[in-house]
Amino acid sequence: MSRIRLVLFDAFDTLITPRLPIHVQYAQEAHKHGFSESVITPATVRSAFKPAFRKTTELFPEWGRHAEPKMSPSEWWMMCIEETMRMAGAEQSKLEEVMPRLGKALLDRFESAEGYRAFDDVVPCCESPQRAWIPYGKLTMNVVTQLKQAGVKTGLVSNADDRILKTLDALGITPLLSHGTTISQIAGYEKPDSRIFEAACRTAGIESEVTEGATDKHDENGEEHRQFQGVLMVGDEVEADYHGAVSAGLEARLIRRPGDFSDGAKRVSEEEERETLHRDGVHVIRSLKEVMNEVKHRNGL
């Protein structure tokens, strides 16, 4: 196998995850802003969030990118939050009164280390007595830094709006990525669309090429099969991250850490999918440390 030149990471449930389930955090902020704990509960928010997200997406696709007038992602999320609270049982007059403050509190929370945390194999964190979250990557080497020191480029590909950039900054992840982020809201394509992977590769200065020695160099449309040699995509969603990357001509690794995954992740439990993953030959890893081990092996380090 070729040496690894570039590793691309998904964001949610690959590098970062909510500190608490999103519906719990929404309910907490609602209670701080005067909503009754007997009305707005984690359960009512959980049942409301996906329908509200779907409704807002149908009305204003791609975080309002094509709305007239054009919406910012923050404006889009304010609408989604308001619809979530309404569906969760919030009284309308009270919602109209507190929504500007409640919406801003939730936006700020999920743009910071209060709402999200990095997994321990990305930027390990330790807690000070003052509950300030300090990037442990400043004290010890993390996997992404190891890749950089090994001469391997790194980047991120995420189906998200640009608010995730603030989250990555807050968690100390952005400086670790040598070739930045490719975000669907900005790129105009969502995984598993091949074009978003191609854009990320080209940002890192890597172009596709025809695989030497391939027995079938053309697809059913007569176009050449092209590969991004030495590029690895790591993510947690089978279709978006794994099959999307493979279809674009990259290699892929599906990460399956022990434990639960966050609400909204487009996957089922490992037990439910194990047979399918085995049948399809999906390469599963348990930790980002396995990526570093593969780099060392393939790059002769």
Q: What is the pLDDT of residues 29-74, one digit of tens each?
A: 999 999 999 999 999 999 999 999 999 999 999 899 888 888 999 9
Q: DSSP per residue over 147-211, as a string? A: HHHTT-EEEEEESS-TTHHHHHHHTT-GGG-TT-EEEHHHHS--TT-HHHHHHHHHHTT---EEP
H helix runs in 1-109, sequence order: 22-32, 42-59, 61-64, 73-87, 92-109
pLDDT digits 0-9 by tens, 224-269: 778 999 999 999 999 999 999 999 999 999 999 887 667 666 666 6
Cα separation, 116 vs 170, whole angstroms: 9
Report the length, in residues, of the chain: 301
Domains defined along the chain, listed by start: 6-18+116-298 (3.40.50.1000), 22-109 (1.10.150.720)
d(CA 183, CA 161) in angstroms, rounded, equals 7
Phi and psi based region of residue 59 (left: phi greater than 0; alpha: psi -120 to 50; beta: remaining): alpha
pTM of this prediction exceeds 0.85: yes
Element spanning 246, H or E: helix 244-247
CA-wise closest residue to 252 among 285, 213, 209: 285
Adjacent-strand bridge partners of 224? 218
| Cβ atoms of residues 116 and 133 within 8 Å | no
The average confidence (pLDDT) of the chain is 88
